[in-house]
A and B are shown apart, each in its own frame.
Chain A
């Protein structure tokens, strides 16, 4: 799943999107038959398939709105397409699942149609930071799904689970770590700030960011692999070749359930919580239907279905959910998460990227 949820665009995802797009063009007649319809973009592959199977049919049954699901590429490619289509007054999808950084970048050009919370009563169920706002307070997006990046270990090599992100800095772990290769998808600056400087607020100033970079540079001798491709790390983690690192909580859980000697630990500083949001392009003429859909998706019951069937962490508050403790632990944790500083990746992305690359490759 992470191949699709993550920020990397694999050739397979692009091909998948192409094939799915072509098949949609081939069968529009079926969808036109119904009166109300909505085009919804979801990451192509596992994610779109799960939604097609578990979510969209039920939604149509409940509301009478037909869904045409669009496979969207991950990364920022979809944002670029929506932006260019909107300039021409076109909407390749009415509602799209959008990464937090893309959502912010779209705000800079007013790409997202402002949402009306009065028409989304279920939005009150959401954890506060899952309501994305324009600087002037208009609503740009609503949290769709969330997922965690945690500290993972090979149980053969580490009989005891580590308890803190500080384990990444432990000299005993020299040349044993696998970490994500990009500043904007590893969120290690936030991890450093939370673990050593009291919280992600320490990254508010350039001075604080440089301090975090300096501290993070101490990790370098421990890192065996800076990965862009998840399969590369997952395989090495399972075999014990690279026995520790950061990885996706849900996928690690699935691997452990398959009998692999791996475990995912929420460190005491919290797991990294990343998320996708629903947003509506300003070119869409289906704003009413879009509100109905977003409201439907914000129900605790639907979020519980997503956790059980798709493996995502809920975006609504824990106490509203009927998930058992075990089901909840499979996708989330009660430990306060580390929320990435998405604002930095919008305002200072080039600077951070340059510093990061110089740090790891220098």
Chain B
């Protein structure tokens, strides 16, 4: 097949559809949100079109700074846990028999069919004192008495990792399947242990994939607002929880929009930084 750059205007035709979708489903809503974030809030009623910075000013406080910091930290923790768990798993999966691969992939896909609500309630039962997994440990004689494991940071983290893990595996899988097996074979021939070959050959070869996966899981985890509510204490509530409170319960759209815009900007900034750092590392 011959490829050449588009010559005439009509050559750009196929771009119209994705461009249209992007405008309708991203540009318009996001622009509306930015506009609303500058509107004036009327606490006794609704909001009126205006251009004020009050909503951003309210956000710039130590309290919201801490919440933002916690949300970002939680998302990073989820991303790191997911990749650390998923990378060796997917590596082994890609090397196993076809039948085993299909079984695991179907199992993982079926986890994706669970809603966040079901995942949250299931984990809150598993972590409960009255019906949770600690009862099992008591029966086995490993614990004195059943205890409640939620609400806690660990509970939030566990459920969020559980939710994001299938995505992580599915993103890593194609890259690992395509990875040339002769690379590790060469390393083994030269005397590296399987573990050493994995860390010195496979991981560096997948560097870009791993960074891309980290970013994807990070952004995915940043939007979570149900699991922190169900499994965490108020200090584990993410910025997304507070945005929901403002938008739905306080009908304070301007402030909710300002917080959301801020969250998007910080996220984009962090992603840009990661990509930039990745490029630089590659060049060195």
**Per-position binary interface string of chain A over residues 69-109, scored 1 when its CB falls under 8 Å from any chain B CB and 0 otherwise:** 00000011001100100000000000000000000110011
Give bound CA distance, A311 to B148, whole Å.
34
Q: Which residues of B contact A232 (CB under 8 A)?
A: 121, 124, 230
Q: Mark A239-264, 1 if CB is under 8 A from B, else 0.
A: 11100000000000000000000000
Please state if A350 and B234 are interface contacts (CB–CB under 8 Å): no
Q: How far is the CA of A182 from the CA of B229 in the complex (A)?
A: 13
B63 lies within 8 A of chain A by Cβ: yes
The complex places the Cα of A236 from the Cα of B231 at a distance, in Å, of 13
A108 engages B45 (CB within 8 Å): yes
The answer to whether the Cβ of A361 comes within 8 Å of any Cβ in the partner chain is yes
Q: How far is the CB of B143 from chain A (nearest CB, A)?
A: 17
Q: Report whether B44 and A240 are in contact in the complex, using a CB–CB cutoff of 8 Å.
A: no
- What is the minimal beta-carbon distance from A143 to any residue of chain B, in angstroms? 22
- A347 close to B237 (CB less than 8 A): no
* Residues on the B chain within 8 Å of A358, using CB: 63
- Interface size for B (C-beta < 8 A) is 31
Set B46, B121, B230, B255: member contacting A80, Cβ < 8 A? B46
- Measured between alpha carbons, how far is A349 from B252 in the docked complex, in Å? 10
Are A239 and B131 touching (Cβ within 8 A)? yes
Q: How far is the CB of B80 from chain A (nearest CB, A)?
A: 24
Q: In the complex, which of the residues B58, B148, B242 contacts A241, with contact meaning CB atoms closer than 8 Å?
A: B148
On whether A80 and B251 interact (CB within 8 A), knowing A182-B245, A228-B229, A358-B63, the answer reads yes
What is the CB-to-nearest-CB distance from A307 to chain B, in angstroms, rounded to a whole number? 29
Which chain B residues numbered 152 to 200 have a C-beta less than 8 Å away from chain A? none
- Find chain A residues with CB under 8 A from B124 CB: 232
A34 at the interface (CB under 8 A from B): no
Residue B35 interfacial (CB < 8 Å)? no
A241 near B129: Cβ-Cβ < 8 Å? yes
Is A8 part of the contact surface with B, judged by Cβ < 8 Å? yes
Cβ contact within 8 Å between B252 and A76: no
Q: Which of B129, B130, B148, B249 contacts A75 (CB 8 A)?
A: B249
CB distance from A356 to the nearest CB of B (A): 10
A7 and B45 within 8 A (CB): no
Q: Is A226 an interface residue (CB 8 A)?
A: yes
Q: In the complex, what residues of A have CB within 8 A of residue B43's CB?
A: 346-350
Q: Are A350 and B151 also in contact (CB < 8 A) when A228-B229, A361-B237 are? A: no
Encode contact with B along A276-306: 1 for CB under 8 Å, 0 otherwise: 0000000000000000000000000000000
Cβ of A362 within 8 Å of any chain B Cβ, yes or no, is yes
The reply to whether B248 and A241 form a contact with Cβ atoms under 8 Å apart is no
Interface residues on A, range: 35 or more
Chain B residues within an 8 Å CB radius of A236? 128
* Docked-complex contact A105 and B249, CB < 8 angstroms: no
B40 within 8 A of A: no
**A360 lies within 8 A of chain B by Cβ:** yes
Interface string of B123-136 (1 = CB under 8 A from A): 01000111100000
Residue B67 lies at the interface, judged by CB distance under 8 Å to chain A: yes
B45 and A105 contact, CB distance less than 8 A:
yes
A109 CB contact (under 8 Å) in B41, B45, B233: B45
Nearest residue in B to A101 (C-beta to C-beta)? B251
Across the interface, do A361 and B44 meet the contact criterion of CB distance under 8 Å? no
Chain B residues positioned under 8 Å from A79 (CB to CB): 251
Q: Say whether B235 faces chain A, with CB atoms less than 8 Å apart.
A: yes
Nearest-neighbor residue (CB-CB) of A228 within chain B = B229
A357 engages B249 (CB within 8 Å): no
Contact yes or no, B252 A350, CB < 8 A: yes
Cβ B46 vs Cβ A83 within 8 A? yes
CB distance B250 to A357 under 8 Å? Answer: no
A80: chain B residues at CB < 8 Å are 46, 251
- In the bound complex, residues from chain B placing their C-beta under 8 Å from that of A226 are 233-234
Given contacts A357-B242, A361-B235, contact A8 B249 (CB under 8 A): yes
Partner of B130, one of A8, A9, A76, A241: A241
Partner of B44, one of A108, A354, A357, A360: A108
Q: Across the two chains, which residue of chain A brings its CB closest to B245? A: A182
What residue of chain A has the Cβ atom nearest to residue B148's Cβ? Answer: A241
Q: In the complex, A354 Cα to B148 Cα: how many Å?
A: 30
A-side interface residues toward B, CB under 8 Å?
Answer: 7-9, 75-76, 79-80, 83, 104-105, 108-109, 181-182, 184-185, 224-226, 228-229, 232, 236, 239-241, 346-350, 353-354, 357-358, 360-362
23 contacts between A and B (CB under 8 A): A76-B251, A79-B251, A80-B46, A80-B251, A105-B44, A105-B46, A109-B46, A182-B249, A184-B249, A225-B151, A229-B229, A229-B230, A232-B124, A239-B128, A239-B130, A240-B130, A241-B131, A346-B44, A347-B44, A361-B63, A361-B67, A361-B234, A361-B235
Going nearest first, the 10 A-B pairs with the smallest beta carbon separation are A361-B234, A76-B251, A360-B234, A108-B45, A108-B44, A239-B130, A241-B130, A350-B43, A241-B128, A349-B43
Known: A9-B248, A108-B45, A350-B255. 11 other contacts (CB 8 A): A8-B248, A76-B251, A80-B46, A105-B46, A109-B45, A224-B151, A226-B234, A239-B130, A241-B128, A347-B43, A353-B245
